[in-house]
Amino acid sequence: MTEDKYASRRFDIQPEDVIDVAVLEAIPFEYPGSETEVVYETEEFTAVCPWTGLPDFGTLTITYVPQDKLVELKSLKYYLNSFRNVGILQEHAVNRILNDLVALLEPVSMTVEAEYRERGGISGYAVAEWEGG
C-alpha cells in the first residue's frame, strides 16, 4: 500500500495564526480621490500545502486604488514572508491577504492574484477581489 509509505512523510506545517499581521504598517497617501492604481508583485510568494507540507511557489500580484493609506513596502515584505511555512490552501491564501490588507488600508478597491507554479502536473491561479462601498 503506497498510502502507508507516505503517511509519515510530512514536513513541519505552521498554523495560520503565525501570519504576522501586526507587522503591517500603513502610511499616508497624499492624493486621495486621484484614482491612482497601485500594483505590487513578487515572484517569491510561498506557503505550503496544509496536508502534505509540500511548498507552493507563486507570483503574487496585489492591485489596489488607495483611499488615504498605502501599505509600507518593508512591512508588506515581512508580512508575505510570514506565510512561508503556513499550511494554507492556495485559494485561501489570496483571500487571507485580501482581508488583512483591506482591514489595514480601507482602499477604494483591491485585487489579490496568485499564479502558482506547477506541482504534480497542475498549476493554479486564484483571484480575490474587493470593492469598497
Q: Is 100 a catalytic residue?
A: no
pLDDT number for residue 52? 85
Q: CATH: 3.40.50.720, 3.20.20.100, 3.30.1130.10, 3.40.50.920. Which one for 18-131? A: 3.30.1130.10
Q: What is the pLDDT of residue 133?
A: 66
- Among 12, 49, 68, 100, the active-site one is 49
Nearest to 122 by CA among 58, 61, 62, 60: 58
Which residue out of 12, 20, 56, 100 is catalytically annotated? 56
Strand partners, 63: 39, 111
Query: CA–CA separation, 99 vs 43, rounded Å?
Result: 21
Tens-level pLDDT at each residue, the chain (133 residues): 456 666 666 677 999 999 999 999 999 999 999 999 999 999 999 999 998 888 999 999 999 999 999 999 999 999 999 999 999 999 999 999 999 999 999 999 999 999 999 988 889 999 999 998 6
Domain extent listing, the chain = 18-131
pTM recorded for the entire structure: 0.91
Contact 80, 45 (CB under 8 A): yes
